[in-house]
């Protein structure tokens, strides 16, 4: 009897495993395949750094526009992502848990990158507007403000609205918590937001809060215009007391590429920064901005 039960159990396990395999295969077969650009799938172009890539903003924009309407259903699916209640409970219960902190800061949230991609696709992405407009008001994570900002920028791009009113709002830096999302929203428009450069440079005034400085630096890097005035202003923050400001400054210079070569001496000094993340970013920046200087510094 015992042997019969063992045989029956093995058969049950075999059938269960086989059924599970069939289900997984069926789901895989019916999932829409990802469109590609230059041999790389949509997932890569959304977050190339996760795959070891270092694509420029221009290259990513070209990828999304090339994939166009074929990418929209998959991007809308990403917009409908919902945060895990369990992860949020665990974060509240164990506030120092690194994975929990990263989660509530949006580390696993695909909605911002999907919003950016849809905005780059432009008017053809109009079917995504209802979901994007809902995301401009979402508040399900502490990092939701970033989703709000990214989705709002996408709505503006898709509808072809003027950016001028949003640039004008950067004049007033008195309310820091309202100002910095607006700066990053404008930064989402890249070189098309060149009109914001004078206001962002003015916000680097020493009397302003470091939070204003940091987000102005990010936006200037995203816009990557007028390097003759922006690069020296950004590079001056590589010696700032604030680690956050130094990190954001080196990241902004990276966006300018070879146009930031005048900052090479400061970037070389940043190779010895006390902050490891700044050192790593300085290494990457020097390789892109001034390869010859990188070789002289012993960077492979």
Quote the tokens at residue 104.
Answer: 């509530």
Residue 67 domain flag: yes
> Of 116, 244, 231, 133, which is closest to residue 184 (Cα–Cα)?
116
Tokens of 155: 């709505």
Q: What end-to-end distance do the CA atoms of the chain give, in Å?
A: 69
Q: What is the mean pLDDT of residues 211-232?
A: 97
Q: How far apart are CA 109 and CA 141, in angstroms?
A: 9
Residue 19 burial (CB < 10 Å; 0-12/13-18/19+)? exposed
Residue 281 has pLDDT above 80, yes or no: yes
pLDDT the model gives residue 1: 52
Beta bridge partners of 251: none
For residue 177, being part of any structural domain is answered with no
**CA atoms of 189 and 200, how far apart (whole Å):** 14
**5 alpha-carbon distance from chain centroid:** 55
Given a contact cutoff of 8 angstroms between Cβ atoms, the answer to whether 187 and 193 are in contact is yes
Closest to 188 measured CA to CA, from 223, 146, 235, 143: 223
Give the pLDDT of residue 300.
87
Res 28: pLDDT: 38
Domain assignment present for 6 = no
Do the beta carbons of residue 223 and residue 195 sit within 8 Å?
Answer: no
Q: Does residue 91 belong to any structural domain of this protein?
A: yes
Residue with tokens 């509240």: 92
For residue 238, is it within any domain?
no
CB atoms within 10 A of CB 26: 10
Say how many domains are in the chain: 1
Burial class (CB in 10 A: 0-12, 13-18, 19+), 218: buried
**Domain range for residue 137?**
37-161
Which residues, at least 6 apart from 188, have a Cβ–Cβ distance to it below 8 Å?
116, 119, 149, 150, 153, 222
What's the pTM value of the predicted model, to 2 decimals?
0.84
pLDDT tens, 123-182? 999 999 999 999 999 999 999 999 999 999 999 999 999 999 999 999 999 999 999 999
Q: Record the tokens describing residue 93, joined without a space.
A: 């219960």
Asked, for residue 65, whether it belongs to a domain, the answer is yes
> Within a domain: residue 51?
yes
Q: Residue 96: inside a domain, yes or no?
A: yes
**What are the two backbone dihedrals, phi and then psi, of residue 129, each rounded to the nearest 5 degrees?**
-60, -45
Q: Does the pLDDT at position 6 exceed 90? A: no
CA distance 124 to 134: 19
User: What's the angle, vertex CA 58, arms to CA 55 and CA 60, rounded to 5?
Assistant: 55
Q: Coil, strand, or helix at residue 31?
A: coil
């Amino acid at each position: 009897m015992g042997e019969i039960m063992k045989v029956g159990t093995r058969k049950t396990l075999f059938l269960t495993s086989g059924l599970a395999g069939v289900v997984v295969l069926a789901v895989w077969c019916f999932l829409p395949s990802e469109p590609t650009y230059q041999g790389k799938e949509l997932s890569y172009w959304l977050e190339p750094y996760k795959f070891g890539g270092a694509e420029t903003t221009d290259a990513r924009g070209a990828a999304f526009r090339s994939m166009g309407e074929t990418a929209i259903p998959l991007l809308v699916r990403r917009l409908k992502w919902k945060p895990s209640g369990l992860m949020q409970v665990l974060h509240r219960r164990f506030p120092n848990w690194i994975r929990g902190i990263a989660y509530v800061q949006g580390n696993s949230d695909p909605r911002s990158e999907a919003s950016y991609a849809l905005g780059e696709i432009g008017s053809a992405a109009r079917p995504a507007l209802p979901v994007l407009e809902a995301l401009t008001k979402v508040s399900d994570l502490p990092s939701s403000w970033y989703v709000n900002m990214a989705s709002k920028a996408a709505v503006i791009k898709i509808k072809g609205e003027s950016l001028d009113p949003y640039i004008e709002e950067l004049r007033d830096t008195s309310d820091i918590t309202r100002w910095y999302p607006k700066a990053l929203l404008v930064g989402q428009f890249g070189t098309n937001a060149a009109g914001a450069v004078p206001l962002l440079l003015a916000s680097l005034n020493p009397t302003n809060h470091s939070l204003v400085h940091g987000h102005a630096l990010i936006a200037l890097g995203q816009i990557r215009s007028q390097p003759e005035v922006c690069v020296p202003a950004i590079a001056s923050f590589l010696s700032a007391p604030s680690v956050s400001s130094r990190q954001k400054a080196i990241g902004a210079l990276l966006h300018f590429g070879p146009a930031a070569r005048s900052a090479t001496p400061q970037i070389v000094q940043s190779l010895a920064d006390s902050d490891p993340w700044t050192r790593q970013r300085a290494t990457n920046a020097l390789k892109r901005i001034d390869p010859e200087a990188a070789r002289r510094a012993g960077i492979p």
